[in-house]
Structure 1
């Protein structure tokens, strides 16, 4: 796989002829996609269609057997299962990521925490947090540096309804600011919130434009 700056005007993320197999099991076969700057795009498909595999390849976490990925700007990946240290508190995670991202302050992180309503849990070990609160922290860590492109693998698992709505408010704000979001979703009522849908299947990849508002 090659990852390089985008040369197409307005293209934030593109993939060409992506193939991936695990042993004899073919997961992705010739996937192509183009995501424009400022779009919120959903990735849908049946279990085993390769949604998580595709996002891992787009993020650079997994190497494809064949194909190229092109990214314009900074990229962040929020995996389906939070990758957190159970012994650390959420605030300690923020400080670690602040150093990693070389951020001068945590203002954006605290804004996200307030939007997702878990400020009361900042100073307790992650091991005692609920699954939904862990997922909130996972999302904040992916968004706190305002990446140009963010890849989200079912980011609202365990969220209550109000937090689910808060997530889509954040996605809408990213779109308004020109940020690009690619999100794996299993929920049919998400479709109206998306600008385009990437349908993964065993035969082909179909991208439908204009699905959102």
Structure 2
């Protein structure tokens, strides 16, 4: 009887935080702070129409960009950290809790399921695994590698390479299979969004510095 209760409690808790993560991700802070700081939609008249940090900085100014970046990170960090708090280790539900804020940002319920690329929030959810930092460090290292060592341009191709290689590294070097599955889901969401994005895809260029 106790085992059944524990299983139901674990499932209920996992579903709750997955839903909280999705709703949290559905708040597009680039639009919120664009209206607050400059009374406009920062995605208008942009190439990709992306409600993310880059357009917040470019079209909303430095404070709009900083606030958007911080909140996009936090909406990923908080649900994951809250779910992990007090647990002896990650369970199967962390896979979905990790992916939920990214899914919410990409397919936001508050914006007719038309959202951003999920890059900042994906860093946020991985930071929420603290003190287990290996996945976010691998993602950051891949981003730096393809930005400053093996320089891949334009950003479409750099982002694709970053998430693909980071996922492979997490699968090989990650210590928790459920977190690795979460990383696979995150990358599938981000790369799927990239392929659906309306921005023009220029030819890939690779340069070794």
Higher strand share: 1
Same fold (TM over 0.5): no
TM-score of the pair, normalised by structure 2: 0.29
Which structure has more relative contact order (CA 8 Å, sep 6+)? It is 1
TM-score of the pair, normalised by structure 1: 0.28
